[in-house]
Structure 1
Amino acid sequence: MLEKRIPPLLLVVIFGAAMWLVASITPPLSIDGTLLAFVAVAVFAIGTLFSVAGVIAFRQAQTTVDPRTPEASSDLVSSGIYRYSRNPMYVGFALWLLAWGIFLGSGWALLGVVVFVLYMNRFQIAPEERALRDLFGDTFRDYEQRVRRWL
């Protein structure tokens, strides 16, 4: 089963490679490359802020950052960036892929971001949330009601 088996950063690399492949066989967008690069850098920077803020919050709570073992969580982190997103690191990764698709200048490659989000929802986030519900019970259920999965 694919659930929680592939490290999310490796998934970003795999999806990024697939997006590059799609971009190499489809026509590019008719937009200035300098503008695309500027927008891509800005989106990547925002994605990095999300991811780093998520890691910092986990480190401050002294709980595991490894999403493949949510049952090892010692604390439910709901402060900092986690007040706005239950998965800020994944938001950051999706923004990295969005930046990559923009940089590649391919509308078709941007579909990789959509597939990444769908994959993460099914094979990474859903199993994580099941484990967190089992571990933290009503506290996690209340958190789910207050904070969106992505943004």
Structure 2
Amino acid sequence: MKLLIPPPIYLLLALGLMWLLKHYMPLVSFQGFPWNIIGWSLIGIALAGDLYALALFLKARTTFNPIKPHNSTQLVVTGSYRFSRNPMYLGMVLILGGWGLVLGAVSPFIVIPFFMWVLTEMQIKPEEAILTERFGVEYQTYLRQVRRWL
């Protein structure tokens, strides 16, 4: 199952699960202004960050396909990749946080740590193993210098 499901699918499943929790187990509601504005703003910032991270891959002329990290031709270690090894996945977490604010209940937020764990086990760790094999010492140095999430 590792590297078979694209991360955006995990994101969509998490968004749906958050919606279900809000509607069927709404713990501590806080709907409306200003939470919805803050939530949508966070989602917008996260999407912009994800597009920026994607642009770095395009500029480097290497694959951004998370299912095929073995097709990578070079490491991307500039821009947001100086602060997080996975800024696109971090953006997905911010999208979930924003969505939780838009939904306006505490219960949807329990999905976020589970999402991070699933993404780490099913996507990030396998990617790291492949990139270590592909880029050797250069990638191992990067692993020591930059954190996985933030």
**TM-score range normalised by the length of the shorter chain:** over 0.9
Matched with 1:13 is 12
Identity over aligned pairs, percent? 33
Matched with 1:139 is 138
Matched with 2:110 is 111
One-letter amino acid matched to 1:134 = E
One-letter amino acid matched to 1:102 = L
Match runs of 1:63-82 below 5 Å = 63-82=62-81
One-letter amino acid matched to 1:45 = G
Q: Secondary structure in 1 aligned to 2:107?
A: coil
The offset of 1:31, in angstroms, is: 2.6
One-letter amino acid matched to 1:78 = V
**Normalising by the residue count of structure 2, what TM-score does the alignment of the two structures yield?**
0.95
Match runs of 1:90-101 below 5 Å = 90-101=89-100
State the alpha-carbon separation in 2 of the partners of residues 42 and 111 from structure 1. Answer: 21
State the alpha-carbon separation in 1 of the partners of residues 99 and 15 from structure 2. Answer: 7
- Alignment check: 8 A CA contact 1:132 1:140 kept: yes
Q: 1:17-59 deviations in whole A, cap 9, x for unaligned?
A: 1111111111353435111111101211221122111101000
Counterpart check, 1:23 vs 2:8: no
Runs of 4+ displaced beyond 4 Å: none
**Normalising by the residue count of structure 1, what TM-score does the alignment of the two structures yield?**
0.95
One-letter amino acid matched to 2:35 = L
Match runs of 1:40-55 below 5 Å = 40-55=39-54
Q: Secondary structure in 2 aligned to 1:34?
A: coil
CA RMSD after TM alignment: 1.1
- Alignment check: 8 A CA contact 1:28 1:105 kept: no
Q: Secondary structure in 1 aligned to 2:101?
A: helix
State the alpha-carbon separation in 1 of the partners of residues 60 and 149 from structure 2. Answer: 21
- Alignment check: 8 A CA contact 2:27 2:105 kept: yes
One-letter amino acid matched to 2:123 = Q
Q: 1:41-78 deviations in whole A, cap 9, x for unaligned?
A: 12112211221111010000001111111100000110
- Alignment check: 8 A CA contact 1:50 1:91 kept: no
In structure 1, runs of 5+ residues without a counterpart are none
State the alpha-carbon separation in 2 of the partners of residues 32 and 63 from structure 1. Answer: 42
Matched with 2:60 is 61
Matched with 1:150 is 149
State the alpha-carbon separation in 1 of the partners of residues 44 and 26 from structure 2. Answer: 27
